[in-house]
Structure 1
Amino acid sequence: MQEEFISSKQNAKVKNWRKLKTAKGRKQQGLYMIEGEHLIEEAVRSGVYLEAIILNETYEGAYPTGFSTYRLAAHVFESLAETDSPQGILAILGAQSRFNAAEDFQQLLAKPGDAINRWLLVDGVQDPGNLGTIIRTADAAGYRGVVLGTGTVDLYNDKVLRSTQGSHWHIEVVELPIETAMQTLQGAGIPVLATALHREARDYRTLDYAAGAPLALVVGNEGQGVQAKLIEQANLSVFIPMPGQAESLNVAVATGILLFAL
């Protein structure tokens, strides 16, 4: 397709694209923006809906063809880019459908999938880098999906997307209150483990789950951890012993330890 050159920040397309830098704008348009060659290559390879390729006027690298392509004046491109040293290429994607009702989640659990029926439930994680790393780690550990609970940072936040490195296209990502997700999982016979620090919590090293056994793990907010009501609702609470003097582990690090250990 022929490239269209845009030289003004006041261009209607540019104004709409700029709105995608906010969660509200992404929700209203059903679109989001990604940046960088690797992430765009992964998007094309994953077969997600790609609406447009956006290039800096000085960009000379390779880019996917067959899509609507726009080349922007440098100052216009810079108004869209989120990174300090942009590579000169962006893409506009359609937001993937994310279940937000218990009935939808129940149907998803019953649907056969390639991955084992293991789920990571994220209760109010607010740091974008943490959430992106958590999703990427769940993908690496072979989990079927991640449930984003109320108060969790938006999946399509730029820093989240860069941290996932495309893993959110490989596994299911669901938006649902954690309490509802837990009830649905337990109703399907899938035990739910919650991270906790109270004295009833089990050392994760004492647990013995078969490699393919279904289960779900709840991890919590950076400062507050998993909500007490969710810990009470879980089948079991677990903790990671820390023989050193650190007060706590970063939530993404703790999640990685548990996902692979389980």
Structure 2
Amino acid sequence: MEIMSPQNTRVKEWAGLQEKKHRDKSGKYIVEGIHLVQEALQAEADVECLAFDLDKGMPSELKPLLQAVQGMEVIGVSAAVIAKCSSTNTPQPVFAVVRKEQQGVEAILAKPDSLVVVLDGVQDPGNVGTIIRSADAAGADGVILGQGCADLFNPKTIRSTMGSMFHLPVVEGDLGMILPQARERGALLVSTSLTGEDSCYTHDFQGSQWLLIGSEGKGISPETAALVDKSIIIPMAGRAESLNAAMAATILLFEGMRQRGSHGK
């Protein structure tokens, strides 16, 4: 099948997925570029259709994956269609429309000795995506996005995850309900604070640990702070007052990984 006109109804629908209201209404989102489409296919995400630039042809990296996927439409399109559906200035030659799959928090809660990152009001899509990528790299068991966080399916968040959103559970939910459940199952809720009682290097990361990361400006909300078991500090030798949320999360994740003895590949 081929679609050449940017005015085509389906193209307008795809282009609409750049906006949250259309993503929420349709239950779909868009991933752009060879790498992300490859990750989505390898993870067996629920891909509705894959569109590629007819002039450039199907990227060779994706060809072997197409045989394996059942029930996915493959549509050749013009460069104009790609440009209309893209969120970047230099559009990639391929994109996929993916149906959102409801990730339940139950899978994360059920995991013994879990290392989980919880985001509370982290509004920057680049930071949210980067934290998901770091959580994946450090072998964490999941990421939970509370209210006020950037939308997971925002194209910028997706790009910043570099495909990691397909590697571990990422759940959007109500922290007021989820955190008490985690605690009941033995998780220690840890936040960072400039007045922390322990350094992240002396804190014991064994057992089930849920790391709470708040927004750059305000930190975690008072409601979330009331649930915290322990706050730890990331020691700094220089004069910067604080760290970017994604950097702070990454330092904690990798110290956790080091202490827990999962030395990676």
Aligned partner of 1:252 among 246, 249, 260: 246
Is 1:96 the counterpart of 2:101? The answer is yes
| Matched AA of 1:16 | E
Q: In the alignment, which residue of structure 1 is the partner of 2:33?
A: 36
- What amino acid maps onto 1:76 in structure 2? V
- The aligned counterpart of 1:190 is 187
Aligned to 1:69: 74
Distance 1:17 1:71, change over 3 A: same
Q: Does 1:176 align with 2:170?
A: no
For residues 196 and 76 of structure 2, the distance between their equivalents in structure 1, rounded to whole angstroms, comes to: 59
Structure 1 position 206 matched with structure 2 position 197: no
Match of 1:222 among 216, 219, 224: 216
The offset of 1:200, in angstroms, is 4.9
Instruction: Report SS of the residue matched to 1:243.
Output: coil
Moved over 6 A (4+): none
| 8 Å CA contact retained: 2:109, 2:182 | no
Q: How does 1:1-262 map to 2 (within 5 A)?
A: 4-60=1-57, 61-62=59-60, 63-64=62-63, 65=66, 67-99=72-104, 105=105, 107-109=106-108, 111=110, 116-197=113-194, 199-210=195-206, 213-262=207-256
How far residue 110 of structure 1 moved from its aligned partner, in angstroms, is 5.5
- TM-score, normalised with respect to structure 1: 0.88
In structure 2, the CA distance between the partners of 1:21 and 1:179, relative to structure 1 (3 Å rule), is same
| Number of the residue aligned with 2:263 | none
Secondary structure of the residue aligned to 1:59 is coil
Do 1:145 and 1:173's aligned partners in 2 also have CA atoms closer than 8 Å?
yes
Q: Distance in 2 between matches of 1:96 and 1:195?
A: 31
- Structure 1: distance between partners of 2:36 and 2:4: 26
Contact 1:50/1:91 (8 A) holds in 2: yes
Question: Which amino acid is the alignment partner of residue 2 of structure 2?
Answer: F
Structure 1 unaligned segments of length 5 or more: list them.
100-104
Q: TM-score scaled by structure 2?
A: 0.88
Counterpart residue identity of residue 202, structure 1: D
Given that 1:132 and 1:160 are in contact with CA atoms closer than 8 Å, whether structure 2 keeps it comes out as: yes
Q: 1:102 — aligned with what?
A: none
Per the TM alignment, residue 69 of structure 1 is displaced from its structure 2 partner at its CA by: 1.7
AA aligned opposite 1:249 = L
Superimposed CA distance per residue, residues 52-99 of structure 1 (whole angstroms, 9 cap, x where no aligned partner): 111123223323435312222222221111122222111111112133
- The two structures, once aligned, show a CA RMSD in angstroms of 1.7
Percent same amino acid among aligned pairs? 35
How far apart are the structure 2 equivalents of 1:111 and 1:123? Answer: 21
Distance 2:244 2:21 in 1: 29
Whole-angstrom distance in 1 between the partners of 2:149 and 2:111: 27
Deviation at 1:112, TM superposition (A): 5.1
- Alpha-carbon separation, structure 2, partners of 1:109 and 1:43: 21
Contact map agreement 1:122 1:178 (CA 8 A) in 2 = no
Count, aligned residues:
248
